[in-house]
Amino acid sequence: MNKSSGSSKPRLYITREIFNEALKKLEGVYDYEVWDRYQHPPYEFLRKKLVEFDAVLSMPTDRFDCEMIRSISHKIRIIANMAVGYDNIDVECATQHGVYVTNTPGVLTEATADLALALILATARRIVEGDHFVRWGEWWRTGTPFHPKMMLGMELYGKTLGIIGMGRIGVAVARRAKAFNMKIIYYSRRRLPENVERELGAEYRDLDDLLSNSDIISIHVPLTKETRHMINRERLSKVKRGAIIINTSRGAVIDTEALVEALEKGWIAGAGLDVYEEEPLNPNHPLTRFKNVVLTPHIGSATRETRLAMALLAVENLLAFAAGREPPTLVNKEVLRIKPPGFY
Ligand code: NAP
Ligand code: GLV
C-alpha cells in the first residue's frame, strides 16, 4: 500500500500491515508505503529499499545491525520499533549515526503477562497434552473415564514462582501469581523499592538461589549481551528437580541445546515457551518431541487491543519526531545530543 501526496513530506516505510486507525494518524504528516505481504521483508530488500526513506516503522524481527544502519543512515532518521524489545537493533551504532530508536513499552505488559500465566497453567496442568489425549482418541481407547493417577500435574497453590527480570512484565506476572497464592521470589539487575516488594510479597534472591528454590521459573529479561544464554547448561543443572521453566522474553536468553538436554535428562519437569532462538520454529526441532513442553508462536502481545496500542505508540513516536519533539518512548536518549529531532 502506498499513500503518497506527491508533496515534500518525509517518507515512511512500514515493514508490515498495521491497523488503519494507526495509519490514519500519519496522514498529512508522512507519505508512507507498507510492505503488504504476510512474509517479512528480506534483509537485503530492506537495505536497498530504505535508502529512499526518512523513517521506518519496524517489527522486532527486522534486523537493523550496524551494516544495515550504515547503509541507510544518510537518509533514515528514526527507527520506530513496534515492540518493547529492541534486540533486533544495534542501538549503539544507531546513536553514533544520529538515528533515533523508539520502542513500545507498557502497552503490552498485561497481554504478555496473561500469556506467561497461560503457559504456566498449560504446562503445570498439562492442558495441551490433555486436549490431544481427548481429541486423538487416546482417552476413548483407555475406556477409563477417571483414574486417580491419570494426567497428574502440578498445583500452583503454595508453590514458589521465581521471576527472572522484575520489570514491567515480571511485576505484572507476580501480581497474577499472588492471586494463586504463590510465593514469589525474584532475581533482577536492581531490587524493587521496599514498598513494592511488600505489596507483591516478593523476596529478592540471587540467581542460583532462585533456580534451586523455584517450582516455576518465569523469564522476563530483555535480550542483551549479558542475558544471552543466561540460562545455560550449568544453570539448568542447578534447577530444582521437577521445576517448570517458562520463557516469554527472547529465545536466546536460554541455551536451547542445553534446554533440550535438561528435558531429556529429566532435570526439569516441563517448559512453556513463546520465543525461540530461531523463529519460526522448525516443526522437526527436538523441542516439538516433548509432551511436557507447551509451544506458542511468539504471541505474547497478540491481542487486538494490544497490537493496536503498540501501533499507535509507534506512530506517536513518529509524529513527535516529525514535529521536532523528543519521541515519548525514545530508547537512545544520547542521540538528542547528536542530532535534534525533526526532518530538516
Ligand atoms: P522491562 O520493564 O525493561 O523489564 C526487564 C527487567 O529485566 C528489568 O527489571 C531489567 O532491569 C531486568 N534486567 C535487564 N538486564 C538484566 C540482567 N542482565 N540481569 C537481570 N535482570 C536484568 O521490560 P518488559 O517490558 O518487562 O519486557 C521484558 C522483555 O519481554 C522485552 O525486552 C521483550 O524481549 C520481551 N517481550 C516479549 C513479548 C512476546 O511477545 N513474547 C512481548 C513483550 C515483551 P533494569 O530495570 O535494571 O533495566
Ligand atoms: C515482542 O516480542 C516485544 O518485544 O514487544
Q: Please report, in tens digits, the pLDDT of each residue of the chain (344 residues total).
A: 666 665 689 999 999 999 999 999 999 999 999 999 999 999 999 999 999 999 999 999 999 999 999 999 999 999 999 999 999 999 999 999 999 999 999 999 999 999 999 999 999 999 999 999 999 999 999 999 999 999 999 999 999 999 999 999 999 999 999 999 999 999 999 999 999 999 999 999 999 999 999 999 999 999 999 999 999 999 999 999 999 999 999 999 999 999 999 999 999 999 999 999 999 999 999 999 999 999 999 999 999 999 999 999 999 999 999 999 999 999 999 999 999 999 98
Is there a contact between 83 and 39 (Cβ–Cβ < 8 Å)? no
**Domain residue spans of the chain:** 2-106+304-337, 109-295
Least distant ligand from the CA of 249 = 1
Is there a contact between 18 and 1 (Cβ–Cβ < 8 Å)? no
CATH 3.40.50.720 fits 2-106+304-337, yes or no: yes
Annotated active-site residue in 279, 289, 305, 325: 279
Distance CA 261, CA 175 (A): 32
- Residue 190, ligand 1, Cβ within 6 A: yes
Atom number of ligand 2 nearest to Cα 104: 5
pLDDT of residue 46: 98
Is there a contact between 169 and 114 (Cβ–Cβ < 8 Å)? no
Torsions phi, psi for 193 (to 5 deg):
-60, 150
Quick one: CATH architecture of 109-295?
3-Layer(aba) Sandwich (3.40)
Indicate the pairing of strand 2-3 with strand 31-34.
antiparallel
258-273 in b/e form (b: 16+ CB < 10 A) is: bbbebbeeebbbbbbb
Q: Is the pTM of this model over 0.75?
A: yes
- Residue 169, ligand 1, Cβ within 6 A: yes
Tens-place pLDDT, residues 172-217:
999 999 999 999 999 999 999 999 999 999 999 999 999 999 999 9
* C-alpha cell recorded at residue 186: 525474584
Q: What is the CA(45)–ligand 1 centre distance, in A? A: 30
- Residue 23, ligand 2, Cβ within 6 A: no
Distance CA 29, CA 326 (A): 16
Which residue's CA is the closest to the ligand 1 atom numbered 4?
167
Q: Which ranges constitute the DSSP H helices of 180-273?
A: 194-200, 207-213, 233-236, 256-264
Q: What is the CA(144)–ligand 2 centre distance, in A? A: 43
Q: Do domains 2-106+304-337 and 109-295 have the same CATH topology?
A: yes
* C-alpha cell recorded at residue 154: 502440578
Q: Is residue 298 flagged as an active site residue? A: yes
Q: Is residue 92 flagged as an active site residue? A: no
Is there a contact between 123 and 270 (Cβ–Cβ < 8 Å)? yes
Is there a contact between 330 and 101 (Cβ–Cβ < 8 Å)? yes
Distance CA 294, CA 128 (A): 7
Atom number of ligand 2 nearest to Cα 82: 5
Tens-place pLDDT, residues 24-48:
999 999 999 999 999 999 999 999 9
- Residue 147, ligand 1, Cβ within 6 A: no
